[in-house]
Amino acid sequence: MIRVSPGGPRRPGLCGLGGALLLALAACSSAGSPPSAAPSSAAASPSPPVASAQPSSGSASPSASLAASRPATHSPSPTHASAATTHLPAAPAVAGKPLFGKVIGIDPGHNGRNYTDPAFLNQWIWNGRAMEHCDTTGTSTNAGYSETLFNFMVSSYLAADLRAQGATVVMTRTSNSGVGPCVTTRATIINAAHADVAVDIHADGGPPSGRGFTVLEPVADGPNNAVVAASALFGTYVRSAFLSYAGMPVSTYDGVNGVQPRSDLAGLNLTTVPKILIECGNMRNVTDAALLSSSGFQQRAAAALDTAIVRYLGR
């Protein structure tokens, strides 16, 4: 995600995938002006939502499920792997199926080919407070590792853990090779599943000097009023687990002590289930980038989120 100031409009981000830059810039300049009147309800993407609701089958261990979930195209280089932080405590093992009967929503931010369709991205939608674009391309490291791939990898590892523990997992996209869906449609997918809790997974494109993760929490705006307090509570579990097990510090440039309320994001404004968005680190910072592009960190981030979900739902 490209970071914007709380309360400000969300701008299409620039993807770091080579030739995508010109298309993304074209998208930014071709959007036009937003409609003067906001619709009474959230607009949905014209494309059909991509959703996955799969209950767990079998009793595979979390580690085995993580290995099985890794897309075959992902092969971190030794440089990336060596960047992973060591000597961290492992996230606690979970015995049995404590999440049986629970529904968990996962939204891997953006999509791997968003940059190919600027007209789709620049549709105007109502985010619960204001007009914004359907989605953006996301950001990338200076070396070109995309946020979309990071988001999808962490989400895949997390989904495998949750399913191994008995949960039904609903994902807003199930590959990194598509376009969309719009942010409003992502919220609709998770709301319609009546998820017990949900997480939007991103990485930030902040200032190069800044490090760390931020938990973004909803601000009451009508549709989300009933879940703002529960979302904040879930956020405390996420912050604690991420600090303990992921190996990423709290943000030095966004929020206060790793937490930032946001009122300009459709996924939080329109949620009717407890939900937070986590910026897992800053892709524009060289230290964070080395972690974010390593499979070791991605698995630790997923394990930390899994720990937070289990603790929140088991409280």
Kindly report, residue by residue over 238-276, the tens digit of the pLDDT.
999 999 999 999 999 999 999 999 999 999 999 999 999
pTM reported for the whole predicted model:
0.76
* CATH architecture for residues 50-115+140-313: 3-Layer(aba) Sandwich (3.40)
The mean of the pLDDT values for the chain is 81
In terms of Cα–Cα distance, which of 174, 170, 203 is closest to 278? 203
Question: Which tens digit of pLDDT belongs to each residue from 201-221?
Answer: 999 999 999 999 999 999 999
Whole-angstrom distance, CA of residue 5 vs CA of residue 116 = 27
Q: How many CB atoms lie within 10 A of CB 42?
A: 20
Q: Using one digit for the tens of pLDDT, what is the confidence trace for 66-95?
A: 333 333 333 333 333 334 445 788 888 777
Would residue 132 show up in a list of annotated catalytic residues for this protein?
no
Domain extents in the chain: 50-115+140-313
